[in-house]
Every structure is written in structure tokens, then in C-alpha cells.
Structure 1
């Protein structure tokens, strides 16, 4: 980052965030390993998502086994107690055997899914272990592709995400199958259907209850509102008794407000109830689902691309970036980057270095800064070279001011 510094302490010469001077070749591997160690600290989501998916599959398979085995045991008990004829007993037992064969088939499919997800967890661990100072550049390139795929999946660019993952051979390092699970629910909500979202809530009931989620309650409210919109009041009352009443002890105020819509039509102008019938309620449900989905799998609510971009812009952001004479090399000299960085804090710089606007070389005691009459600052080497080529004349590259080399003043760095 460049920043001007005048003799009186105001900014006018180029500054950049503190960077260590070029280290000897022998120290390079140590620097790379340090960078790598910092990078690995940010890979929490990379490992947790497939692991959570793996646990979810195991739980689902366990529930299937419990349900089917319980049903078979109950069937055997009924057969033992009932007075079946020989043919009826054989038929009943054959049906139980068929049920067990179906369970075996389901367990085989579940086992293959578990093995696939376990392999994915292993592949990600191997990927992290493969990172070292020698292949850091290649590893960072793969990481960037992972971040782009994550962004595309969150933005519902599924086909593009799949093509990038396949062309880069990183299918095991991205969460396409996990996001496809979310895709079905999101598309249904966008089509004003709550059934897939309610099914998702049922599949993850224990986890959602543990996190005190009220997403299912919001879905039930919206379904009630749709019945009122269609003027099916009797069905709406029955629905409220069956599905909304159990939420009364914890969400009474919201429940009372929604049930009161029975006294209004969807065309009401009463602001309190009009907002409940607006289409944006479905957009709110989509956003709410995305948050619950990310929480369930341990994902960040923001895409990784946004997080890293914001971190980078915040590290570069200084007050000088928004001045008219900000150098073109500064990303924040571009209006698009300035908009992205607007809500971000300024970089906190404990130390800085002075970089010459002309030569891009460091200004220090060996190459001290010189101040032109117009207040702009450049390095001694750059101005010496310019004066030699122009018979002792100096031309400010920013303002076009022409002066004699003898008119410049030496600035001291404290």
C-alpha cells in the first residue's frame, strides 16, 4: 500500500504494509513453512463438513436398522401369540424374511455410502498432509479452486462448480453432494413449497432441537398463511391446532400474530399483517434455511471467497486509498474495490516502509527521501537519475512541476 509522507508528518510518499526485507535463500523454506502453518489454521470447514456428513449417514443407517429390526421382532412376537393356520404362518414369516432382505439391501447401500464418505475424509487429510514448502504454490492453487467451487455452490452455479471440480480433479476436496442436498430444499422454497424443507427438518430433528432452531416453526407459520391466503379458514384452524399449538409455550407472541390473520384477507392494508402475506417471506425462509444448513455442517455463513477477499481488502485499506492521487498499483484505487471495502475497518499498521513512487525502491538511510517544492516525496536515487538525464531538472510525475535539483529538500525518517 502506498502513502505519501511530508516532512511535517502528513502523508505524501508511498507507504506499504510492513514487509520483511528479502531474506537470504537459506531462510526461504522457513518463511514458506510459516505461511503454510497459518494457512492450515483456516481449514476447519474443509475437514468438518465431510465428517458431519459422514456422521449423518451413520445416524440415518442406524435409525433404519432400529426401525426394521424392531418391526421384525414385533412381527415374530405377534406370530407366536396368534393362532395362525400353517399357510398363514408361512406367509407371515415370508413377509418378515422379505423385510429382512430389504434391510440387508439398504445396509449394503448405506455401507457403500459410508465408505465413500470415509474415503473423502481420508482424501482431505492426505491433501493437508501433502502440503510442504516445496509445493506450496501448487497447493495454494488447488486451495483457490476449492474456494471458487465453494462460492459457486453457495450461489447455485452447480453446473459450473461441477465442471471446475472435474477439470481440476478435486471432486473429493469439495462439497458438491452436500450442497445438492440443500439445492432441493432451496428450489422448493423458491417455488413456494414447504414439504421438502419439512422433510429436511424431520431428518435433522435432533440436531435442530439441540441448536434451538425455530426454522420448522417458521415453515409451519408460512404454510398456515398460505391456507389463510386461499381462504381455507377451517383447514387453517385445524392445521394450527395440530402443528402450531405445540410451539405455543416458546413462541406465543409470533403464534398469536399469525393466527390473527384469520380475521383479515391477503389484500389487507394493515401493516402488521400485510407483511405476512408478502412474497419476500419466502426469500426470508430461503435465507433462514441457508443459515441452518451451514450451522448443521459447521460451515461459515459467508462464502470463503468473501471472507478471504474482505480480509485482504481490510489489510490493504488505509485513508490514503480514498485520496485522488492514490497510486494505480493500489487495488483500492479502483472504484469496485472501494465499494467492497467501504464497510471494512482500516488496516492497523504498527510499522510501515516508504516506497518510492518512481523507482518502487525502499527509501531508507541508504536511499533517503527528498521533498519537492510541491510537497511530493521521492527517493534520492530516482531524482539523481532524473536530474542527470535532464541537465539538473526534476519533473514531478504526479503534478508535472519542473524544478532544479538544488530546490529539493532532504526528509529525515524518525
Structure 2
């Protein structure tokens, strides 16, 4: 991968620089030591009858410095560092090609959809002033409706950061039915966190009253949580040393705030991650492969933009893969309804068109699997459904 190549080149430069610096410092110290010793010899007998000849001392220092040969000692490390430094920009230039215009297809984008994605991104990132300015300049006033929900979300999250759970609890209570349908128990988690807060600030009695009022009615859904909270009463005043410290640890509150944001976006019908951020992340990962493809196709005088499918796979991280797809390892074509993935009797999977070519369009003629020695018959192949 390009990043590994760049890192290796950078590490080589750092290593050469440290080596050169170390040798230079060592040589400077040795030269300084010889000079200081010579000065000490000349000064130690000042005023005595046995005063040495300064010319003799200087001649001795000159001879020692000539033997040490500091310039030649430093020459090789400096040359190696210079070579590494000269190679590094070339590797950067090769890996980070500034001209990416040929690495994408000419697609007609819907301007209104793009504007909506940008406005939504600003609002979901809390950049409300920028979002308002963008909508005004893009003349897309209908997208201002995106602002209000995210304003409420940020108000809830800011309150949670300061330890106030009431706005979050109000939202959870208002959307209780929808949250139950999605299988979320975030209201119970918020109640549990507030119980701990009351126990620490107001004591056992107030915490017990809170539990009876808000958690007992839903005991059938959260009995294990209630049991843990009742056990916390025994550790009042020393919860930090209790077995239940995780219930109110800072990381727990942070995870709860993240889960609330996910559920909030889910009820809005929005993705938790910004579509713009996701698109850019996928593009950054896929760009090196597309640039390589562009260079190959340019050399062969072929126009890859006219192809229905990319001739090479673009590997993305797991979090950027949202739908299961299959790319035939033989033809490199992506599976479709007309060309579905087929399971061979040996366990390998090819697309239907590849099987047709390998069998020479003869359903009774066995053919060899391209990935193992097994002889396969078309009649024994089964279509896979993702």
C-alpha cells in the first residue's frame, strides 16, 4: 500500500537524520575535547620555568585532528541523509498525485441533492451559522428545516456533558414508543445514570424515591438494572470503590451520549455518520486504486469511464461497506441479476457468465475449477443469494 511505502521512506529519512546528527555531535565533542586539552596544557604552566612551546602543542593538536579526519567521518552520513531526503519528495509526489481529475467518472450530479447533503453536514456537525449562510447563498431555503432537529440534538448533548439529564429524559419519554419498537433501552440507561447522580448528591432516600417513581413501573423490562441500583445503595458515599463503578464512570456517560445521538438520527431517518464524511472517507481509500487504473488505461489508450463495471476491485474498510456484493474472481465483473454468483460443487464461487465460458456453453460438459483440481458440472452449480 502507498501509505506503507511512504511510512517506510519517512522512517528511513528519520533514521539517517538521527545517525548523521549523532555522529556530528560525537565528532564535535571529540574535537572540542582535543582543543580544550591543548588549551589546558598551555595554561597550566603559565609563569613557570617549564613553560611548553605553544607551537609544539598546536602541532600536536593539528596532527590529532588530521588523524581524526572529522570532515571525511561526517561525509558518508551526510551523503546517505541527502540521498534519503531527495528520494522522499519523489515518493510523495508519486503517491499523492495532485491531478485527480482523471480518476473519476463524468457524472451529472443533482445540484439540489448535493446542496442538501452539504447543508445537512453543517447542521449535524453543529456548524449552524455556516449552514445558514450556505443555504442563503445557495438559494435553497427549503433545507432550513434540517436545522431544527439538530439544534435540539446538540442542546441535549451539551446538557449531558454538563451533567444535566432532564432534556435527554424528556426526549426519550416523548419518543418512548418509537424507541421500544427499535429495541432501544436508552431511557432506562438514562434513568439509571440519574439514579446514580441523585444517590451521590442527595443520598439513599432520594435515590430510592426516584427508583420507585420512574423505574419500578417498568420493572419487567429492567429488573437486572434495578437489582444493581439497589446494591449501589449499600455503597453510598463510596461508590468509587464499589463493584458498580462502571455504571457512572465517565466513559459510560460518553458512550450513552453517542448512543443517544445514534438513536436520535435513526428516528429522524438520518444516518448517524454524515453522508458527506462517509463519501469522502470512501473516496480517499479508493483514490489510489483509481489513479493506478487511470494510468494503466491511459497507457493502453482505453477509456475506463465507458465501462459498466470497474475492472479492478476497490477495497474499503468494513465500516464503509453497506451492502453485500460479489465480484467474480475470474472476470472481475460485479454480480447482477443477469449474472448471479454461483456456488460450485467444490465450494468456490464464480459468476454465471464465467461458468458458461469455462464450460463452453455446454451444461453437460464438465470443466476444471480455476482455483482447485476439481472437475465441476454446470448442473451441480447452485445460485447464491446474499
- Relative to the length of structure 1, the TM-score reads 0.42
Higher relative contact order, chain-length normalized (CA < 8 Å, sep 6+): 1
- Relative to the length of structure 2, the TM-score reads 0.45
